[in-house]
Amino acid sequence: MNSDWQHDRNMLTWLARARAGALGAATRVDDQDVVFEELGAASRLAFLAEGCVELLVRWAGGDSRVWCLVPSPCLIGGTELAGGLSSYLGTARSVGPSQLHWLDTDQLRSLVNDDAALAREALADQCAQHGVTAIAALFPLAGAEQRLATLLGTYLGVMGDPDGARVTLPIKRTQADLAALAGLSPRSVSRVLAGWQKDDVVVKVRGYFSVDPALLWSRGGELARRAQPLLAAWTASRIARARAAT
């Protein structure tokens, strides 16, 4: 990614405004709390200052599947609000605890009109999110193992807790959860996980997945190959934000 746009993608100006109180009071949400619902009235967006959200889309059968996973800081609902859409395109749900600031259309317009840095960062953020959704659109074309490897690998890359050569996902997810998110049957998920446990790719400890990242990504095929550059960009953003906070 171009270094100037990577700097804008860090959204340091938005974070500074949030910490200064310019974005209003913060709202805290817990794991799997819904931020907004698909087809609900798109009356506001949220600046996600801490945490992570997954965006889900409902398919014809009524089940929801992961559209994309987006870490903070970012704007969610921005496509709908800035694009003049009347309803949200998908459901936004917190992954782990998160903190956000709600903004309506007038507030968003005022912020980006008054500060060019906020406008550039918002543009870079929305472009990055569209890149994620483009990759997520490939999910239905991939096999069960590729889908699960990319799904878990993305979770781990965004919020994993390293423990030596392994990484632990700090949120509990059941096989039924993974099946719904990846658009697979529970039987398919059970079969893939059984093979991974046999090969020491993943183990489950007290309800949490502990994973060997290198082995996991090797099972993701083309889908994982396309996802990894985005994770590298997110990692660079986290490092830049940590440096700015010190």
Angle (CA) 50-18-158 rounded to 5° is 20
pLDDT, position 139 = 74
Of 110-119, 123-132, 139-148, the one with minimum mean pLDDT is 123-132
Q: What is the mean pLDDT of residues 28-51?
A: 94
Rounded CA separation 68/175 (Å): 19
pLDDT at 157 over 50: yes
Rounded CA separation 74/33 (Å): 17
Q: Which residue has the higher pLDDT, 211 or 58?
A: 211
Rounded CA separation 61/74 (Å): 30
Rounded CA separation 157/104 (Å): 31
Of 2-16, 21-35, 90-104, 138-152, the one with minimum mean pLDDT is 2-16
Tell me the pTM.
0.83
Q: How confident is the model at residue 238 (pLDDT cuts 50, 70, 90)?
A: low
Q: What is the mean pLDDT of residues 40-66?
A: 82
pLDDT at 9 over 80: no
Q: How confident is the model at residue 228 (pLDDT cuts 50, 70, 90)?
A: confident
Q: How confident is the model at residue 95 (pLDDT cuts 50, 70, 90)?
A: very high
Residue 157 CB partners (closer than 8 Å, separation 6+): 228, 231, 234, 235
Q: Which of 99-113, 137-151, 230-244 has the highest average model confidence (pLDDT)?
A: 99-113
Going by the DSSP 8-state scheme, the letter that residue 165 receives in this structure is: T
Q: Name the nearest CA neighbour of 169 among 140, 223, 205, 193.
A: 205
Rounded CA separation 94/34 (Å): 6
Q: Which residue has the higher pLDDT, 240 or 40?
A: 40
Q: Are 142 and 222 in contact (CB under 8 A)?
A: yes
| Mean pLDDT, rounded, of the chain | 84
Rounded CA separation 156/78 (Å): 25
Q: Name the nearest CA neighbour of 95 among 157, 24, 43, 148.
A: 157
pLDDT at 1 over 50: no
